[in-house]
């Protein structure tokens, strides 16, 4: 009686488990197919292409050339210049975003009337499309009709013109940095804010009892407690900065000259302008990927170190 | 070390008193416990002394100096938090050194003082660890070290042993008491555990419903509770409280029992009682079981507590509505239902007015 009962229970359980599994597969399979088709296949196909000579608009089949694309790229001083520009852009914009985002988070940390509304308003820029942002900042930077110079105090553009921004090879990168900072500071702020809100009040009570000044509390409690989240924000923003394309494309198209020609912009040009050098572009894309992975690795290692201490 | 004085200190949240106006003077080097059930206002009182909570009215003086509106950091007091409040991202050494570094004490001196206090509390081997690697008891030692390293004017402790398990609590209780004596440290200690308060304090402040019920030495609050709340709250079990009526030098108790009053009480009761109703109070150890005792009861239950047995005796016999706890010898067996007589030690009976709930006092 008893063993019988057990067996029937077990078979019932097995049947249900089987059907559970088939349902799981039913849900997962379409996603897997799409992933394989649009992510995994292109990933490996582009890796293959980077070792060939091939143009997507040509009629010739890919011809295996080994490391030729890579050696050409790595020996091209122009490419290194674009990397340097990208590095400068990333350093400036991520640096400013970190400082400003953290400062804003400190301000919004204390709840006051309307602080929720203000937080939401501050978050709006990062919800906009980068291309749209690029286009309307282009108008804002316009020396004769834009509001940017007006805000800086140049009220009569006809008689006393202010500095030109997007047409100046020395200022164009700064203009892009300003817009990127405007757009992505809220993201850093958001992460910092959640980090700040997670610091328990009793740490500050203990610090007050321990006779720590506000400054001492900031350096010894607030900053180390927020650091893990702050580093995640910096990591995300750095990766994004290395991939920056749409904003720059909308604002300057890489110009004037090549003063804002970021790697991603140049990559686009190689791949989809002129002769469509698909295999050469694939090789460049892989170089960018390796660099991003290297930077991320350094970050994540430091992050784990900070976390381990926390 | 310092004297702490509270003058009509009160705390209101909205219209509700968290602490009714209270006066309290804590002498230099004294150990005072704030004792009461949860929500009685004891922690709020402690936080007001520390400055972590602002007073609604009244004055707080430390060494005669008005600190009512001073920031906690300006009061030079140490606070031991219930849940330790250690800095999680710092090592034990950094936790202890924090307060010294905040005050820019020279480095060599910081090292020495941290090491000295670590040796005092036997945590030298933990200095490199972070708080989350420590056991509850070790964390508590670190919080104590953090408080001690500074030589503050006073120690405020908010249920410092509340988060520890029972075994360990007794050990830490003794350690804190020894530290207190060695440092001659003025200490205010919040607890809801009467055993802790009785064992450690010079004086106990018993609070309930935001109000101070009694301030006194452990012996005073145990033997001479000021009111019915204190009588019930202190001791385990609390004082036996039996409702009765006072007539002609006798207290009429349930079960047709009559207690002839000790002479010294007769006048006091006649003067102070507002009606005939009276509450008789006595501790379990005040009863002496004897064959010709004046109070006649029936055994309702008996429980061996190890060194003695605690009898539950029903004054009204079969009905079992008026129960008293009486201490008896551990090796005698009292079957349930047995009639039993006992006497009361006349030195140890107390009387309360049921209307005012206050204890009657001998002139």
Task: Write the DSSP symbol of residue B358.
Answer: B
Is there a domain that residue A54 lies in? no
Question: Distance between CA atoms of A232 and A237, rounded to whole angstroms?
Answer: 9
- pLDDT tops 50 at residue B190: yes
Q: How many domains does chain A have?
A: 2
- Quote the radius of gyration of chain A (alpha carbons, Å): 26
Chosen from A198, A200, A210 to mutate, greatest number of chain B CBs within 10 A: A210
3-state secondary structure string, chain A? CHHHHHHHHHHHHHHHHHHHHHHHHHHHHHHHHHHHHHHHHHHHHHHHHCCEECCCCCCCCCEECCCHHHHHHHCCHHHHHHHHHHHHHHHHHHHHHHHHHHHHHHHHHCCCCCHHHHHHHHHHHHHCCHHHHHHHHHHHHCCCCCHHHHHHCCCCCCCCCCCCCCCCCCCHHHHHHHHHHHHHHHHHHHHHHHHHHCCCHHHHHHHHHCCCCHHHHHHHHHHHHHHHHHHHHHHHHHHHHHHCCHHHHHHCCCCCCCCCCCHHHHHHHHHHCCCCCHHHHHHHHHHHHHHHHHHHHHHHHHHHHHHHHC
Is residue A308 within 8 angstroms of chain B, CB to CB? no
Buried-exposed string B115-144: b where 16+ CB fall within 10 A, e elsewhere: eebbebbebeebbeebbeebeebbbbbbbb
B246 DSSP β-pair partners: B251
Q: Is cis: bond before A256, omega within 30 of 0?
A: yes
- For B52, the closest of A203, A205, A220 (CB atoms) is A205
Using a CB-CB distance cutoff of 8 angstroms, which residues of chain A are in contact with residue B89?
224-225, 309-310
Using a CB-CB distance cutoff of 8 angstroms, which residues of chain B are in contact with residue A211?
73, 76, 99, 102-103, 150
Q: B271 is written with which tokens?
A: 């003067």
Q: What residues in chain A have per-residue pLDDT under 50?
A: 1-8, 310
Identify whether residues A76 and A150 lie together within a single domain: yes
Question: What chain A residue is nearest to B87 in terms of C-alpha separation?
Answer: A203
Residue B11, pLDDT score? 93
Displacement of CA A217 from its chain's centroid (Å): 31
Q: Where in chain B is the domain with CATH 3.40.50.300?
A: 4-232
Identify whether residues A186 and A224 lie together within a single domain: yes
Identify whether residues A179 and A258 lie together within a single domain: yes
Identify whether residues A185 and A146 lie together within a single domain: yes
Is residue A198 within 8 angstroms of chain B, CB to CB? no
With pLDDT > 70 as the criterion, what percentage of chain B qualifies? 99
Residue A8, pLDDT score? 47
- pLDDT tops 80 at residue B100: yes
Identify whether residues A165 and A302 lie together within a single domain: yes
Identify whether residues A96 and A240 lie together within a single domain: yes
Q: Is CATH 2.40.50.140 what the domain over B237-352 is classified as, yes or no?
A: yes
Residue B47, pLDDT score? 93
Identify whether residues A36 and A78 lie together within a single domain: no
Residue A15, pLDDT score? 54
Is there a domain that residue A58 lies in? no
Q: What is the dihedral sign for C-alpha A186, A191, A193, A194?
A: positive
The lowest-confidence range among B23-32, B77-86, B189-198, B270-279 is B270-279
What is the tens place of the pLDDT at every residue in B29-80? 999 999 999 889 999 999 999 999 999 999 999 998 999 999 998 898 999 9
Q: Where in chain B is the domain with CATH 2.40.50.140?
A: 237-352
Residue B182, pLDDT score? 86
Identify whether residues A289 and A141 lie together within a single domain: yes
In whole numbers, what is the pLDDT of chain B averaged over residues?
89
Identify whether residues A231 and A108 lie together within a single domain: yes
Is there a domain that residue A63 lies in? no
Closest Cα in chain B, distance from residue A150 (Å): 47
Question: Distance between CA atoms of B239 and B222, rounded to whole angstroms?
Answer: 9
* Residue contacts between A and B (CB atoms, under 8 Å): 60
Residue B120, pLDDT score? 84
Say yes or no: ipTM exceeds 0.90. no
CATH superfamily of B4-232: P-loop containing nucleotide triphosphate hydrolases (3.40.50.300)
Identify whether residues A201 and A250 lie together within a single domain: yes
Q: Locate tokens 């202190």: which residue?
A: B234
Question: Distance between CA atoms of A180 and A240, rounded to whole angstroms?
Answer: 10
Is there a domain that residue A35 lies in? yes
What is the tens place of the pLDDT at every residue in B106-157? 999 999 999 989 988 888 899 999 999 998 888 988 998 999 898 888 999 9
B359 DSSP β-pair partners: B352
Identify whether residues A13 and A116 lie together within a single domain: no
Is there a domain that residue A116 lies in? yes
Identify whether residues A39 and A94 lie together within a single domain: no
CATH of the domain at A101: 1.10.3720.10
What is the tens place of the pLDDT at every residue in A180-230? 999 999 999 999 999 999 999 999 999 999 898 999 999 999 999 999 899
- CB contact at 8 A, A215 and A134: no
Residues near B159 by Cβ (< 8 Å), separated by ≥ 6? B43, B82, B190, B191, B192
Chosen from A195, A211, A213, A216 to mutate, greatest number of chain B CBs within 10 A: A211
Domain of A173, in residue numbers: 68-309
Q: Is cis: bond before B237, omega within 30 of 0?
A: yes
Residue from B48, B146, B99, B89 nearest A199 by CA: B89
Task: Write the DSSP symbol of residue B210.
Answer: T
**H helix intervals, chain B:** 42-50, 92-102, 107-120, 136-148, 166-183, 194-200, 218-223, 228-233, 263-272
What is the tens place of the pLDDT at every residue in A54-86? 877 877 778 788 888 888 888 888 888 888 999
Question: Distance between CA atoms of B30 and B21, rounded to whole angstroms?
Answer: 22
What is the tens place of the pLDDT at every residue in B296-306? 888 888 888 88
Residue A1, pLDDT score? 43
């Amino acid at each position: 009686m008893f063993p019988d009962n057990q067996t029937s229970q077990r078979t019932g359980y097995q049947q249900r488990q089987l059907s559970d599994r088939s349902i799981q597969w039913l849900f997962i399979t379409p996603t897997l197919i799409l992933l394989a088709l649009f992510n995994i296949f292109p990933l490996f196909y582009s890796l293959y292409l980077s070792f060939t000579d091939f143009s997507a608009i040509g009629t010739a089949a890919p011809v295996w050339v080994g490391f030729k694309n890579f050696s050409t790229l790595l020996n091209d001083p122009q490419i290194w210049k674009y990397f340097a520009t990208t590095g400068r852009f990333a350093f400036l914009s991520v640096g400013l975003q970190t400082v400003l985002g953290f400062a804003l988070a400190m301000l919004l940390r204390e709840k006051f009337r309307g602080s929720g509304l203000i937080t939401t308003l501050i978050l709006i820029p990062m919800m906009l499309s980068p291309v749209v942002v690029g286009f309307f900042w282009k108008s804002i930077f316009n020396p004769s009709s834009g509001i940017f110079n007006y805000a800086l105090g140049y009220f009569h553009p006809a008689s006393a013109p202010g500095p030109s921004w997007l047409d100046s090879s020395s200022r164009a990168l700064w203009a892009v940095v300003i817009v990127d900072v405007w757009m992505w500071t809220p993201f850093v702020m958001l992460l910092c804010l959640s980090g700040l809100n997670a610091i328990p009040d009793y740490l500050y009570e203990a610090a007050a009892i321990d006779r720590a000044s506000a400054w001492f509390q900031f350096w010894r409690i607030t900053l180390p407690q927020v650091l893990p989240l702050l580093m995640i924000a910096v990591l995300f923003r750095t990766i994004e900065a290395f991939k920056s394309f749409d904003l720059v494309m909308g604002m300057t198209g890489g110009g004037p000259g090549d003063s804002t020609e970021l790697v991603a912009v140049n990559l686009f040009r190689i791949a989809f302008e002129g002769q469509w050098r698909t295999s050469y572009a694939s090789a460049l894309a892989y170089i960018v990927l390796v660099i991003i992975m290297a930077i991320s690795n350094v970050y994540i290692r430091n992050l784990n170190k900070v976390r381990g201490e926390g | 070390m310092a004297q702490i004085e509270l003058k009509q200190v009160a705390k209101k949240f909205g219209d509700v008193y968290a602490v009714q106006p209270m006066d309290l003077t804590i002498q230099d080097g004294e150990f005072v416990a704030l004792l009461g059930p949860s929500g009685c206002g004891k922690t709020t009182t402690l936080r007001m002394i520390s400055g972590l909570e602002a007073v609604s009215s009244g004055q707080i003086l430390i060494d005669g100096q008005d600190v009512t509106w001073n920031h906690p950091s300006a009061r030079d007091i140490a606070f031991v938090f219930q849940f330790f409040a250690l800095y999680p991202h710092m090592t034990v050494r950094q936790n202890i050194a924090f307060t010294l570094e905040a005050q820019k004490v020279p480095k060599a001196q910081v090292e020495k003082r941290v090491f000295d206090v670590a040796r005092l509390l036997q945590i030298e081997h933990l200095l490199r660890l972070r708080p989350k690697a420590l056991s509850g008891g070790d964390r508590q030692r670190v919080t104590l070290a953090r408080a001690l390293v500074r030589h503050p004017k006073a120690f405020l402790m908010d249920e410092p042993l509340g988060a520890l398990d029972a075994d360990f609590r007794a050990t830490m209780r003794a350690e804190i008491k020894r530290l207190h004596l060695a440092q001659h440290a003025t200490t205010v200690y919040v607890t809801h555990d009467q055993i802790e308060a009785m064992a450690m304090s010079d004086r106990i402040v018993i609070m309930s419903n935001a109000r101070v019920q009694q301030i006194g030495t452990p012996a005073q609050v145990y033997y001479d509770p000021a009111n019915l709340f204190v009588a019930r709250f202190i001791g385990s079990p609390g004082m036996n409280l039996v409702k009765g009526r006072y007539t002609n030098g006798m207290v009429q108790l349930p079960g047709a029992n009559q207690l002839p009053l000790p002479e010294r009480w007769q006048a006091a009761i006649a003067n102070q009682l507002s009606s005939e109703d009276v509450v008789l109070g006595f501790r379990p150890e005040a009863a002496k079981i004897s064959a010709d005792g004046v109070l006649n009861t029936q055994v309702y239950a008996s429980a061996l507590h190890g060194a003695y047995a605690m009898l539950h005796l029903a004054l009204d016999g079969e009905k079992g509505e008026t129960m008293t706890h009486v201490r008896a010898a551990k090796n005698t067996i009292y079957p349930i239902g047995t009639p039993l007589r006992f006497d009361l030690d006349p030195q140890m009976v107390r009387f309360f007015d049921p209307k005012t709930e206050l204890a009657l006092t001998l002139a």
